[in-house]
Amino acid sequence: MMNVKIRIPATTANLGCGFDVFGMALDLYNEVAFIPGEETLTGEIHGEGAGTLIFNEQNLFYKSMNFFAAHYGVDLPHGHLVMKHRIPMARGLGSSSAAVVGGVFLANQITGLQRSKEELLPLVVELEGHPDNVTPCLLGGFCSAHHIDADWQISQFSVPSDWRFVVVSPRSEVSTQKAREIMPQTVSLQDAVQTISGAAALIGALVNRRPQLLQAAFADRLHVPYRLTLIPHGKEVLKAALQAGAYASTISGSGSTLLAVSDENHAAAVGKAMQMEFGEEEAAQVHIVTVCADGVALIPLDKET
């Protein structure tokens, strides 16, 4: 068994009117290196979550590795994992999906089974419970997921290379459970039509390279207005992004990260404006990223992303 190293992308989901359907992989990565050993499976965690996460049987990455092994009836080889986390945790950037996808993908590599990503997709969706983050994390790019006849059907769309995604993560967290609980269980016909219209606008913006459609695409009425109340200064931060030159802005996943789409020339100013609107007490992190086209992947052992 040789050393193996993988990178796992952050993801942003929902993207306005695409609740629980749309997701996109971003070029902000966690890295995990596997070093073969002779006794059990151990790990060390650096970066985001290093002070709170422990690599043990309750760790989601470890659980996902074991889930893969149990599913295929194989044993995980012994060794040591060195995990470098850059994806902010519990902020709506797919940190849990990265653990699920990373664990399954790494187990696939070190056990030698070499299942295709398409074969791995049902496993990661089952582990995560919904497809919007794990699908782009696994496959890359912009994805929409559709449950048809008990199977997941995936559509992928390319994203304009000149778009920049400004993700700003405050100190405050928003739990996915709380973000779901705050949403209404029924919506008006008008809001339902608005959602369909916005989802169509997002696909149109991608296919036709028309960023001017993004504000309509992000004009969600299902979840964004409710979840914004859980994010300190949320409305003001989204407005600040537009005033600084962003095409559009919305919540990333369930929050608390907020996302803006910009051209390259305005991206830094958009990030700074959003960070300042959050205020010093939130100490918001700013990442200016593009799309990760290939999803989770092997990387050379001597290279860091």
Sequence ranges of the binding site for ATP: 88-98
Q: How far apart are the C-alpha atoms of 269 and 109, rounded to whole Å?
A: 41
> 1 Cβ partners below 8 Å, 6+ apart?
36, 77, 79, 110
Which residue's entry shows tokens 């709380």? 178
Q: How far apart are the C-alpha atoms of 79 and 215, rounded to whole Å?
A: 48
> Is 180 in contact with 167 (CB distance < 8 Å)?
no
54 token code pair: 């422990």
Cα within 13 Å of Cα(199), Cβ side = 20
Cβ neighbourhood burial of 286 (10 Å; 0-12, 13-18, 19+) = middle
> Is 222 in contact with 191 (CB distance < 8 Å)?
yes
> Is 65 in contact with 106 (CB distance < 8 Å)?
yes
CA distances from 186 to 22, 41, 199 (A): 21, 47, 19
| Binding-site sequence positions | 88-98
**Omega before 256 cis (within 30°)?**
yes
Taking each helix axis from N to C end, the angle separating 95-110 and 117-128, rounded to the nearest 10 degrees, works out to 140
> Is 22 in contact with 144 (CB distance < 8 Å)?
yes
27 token code pair: 């070029």
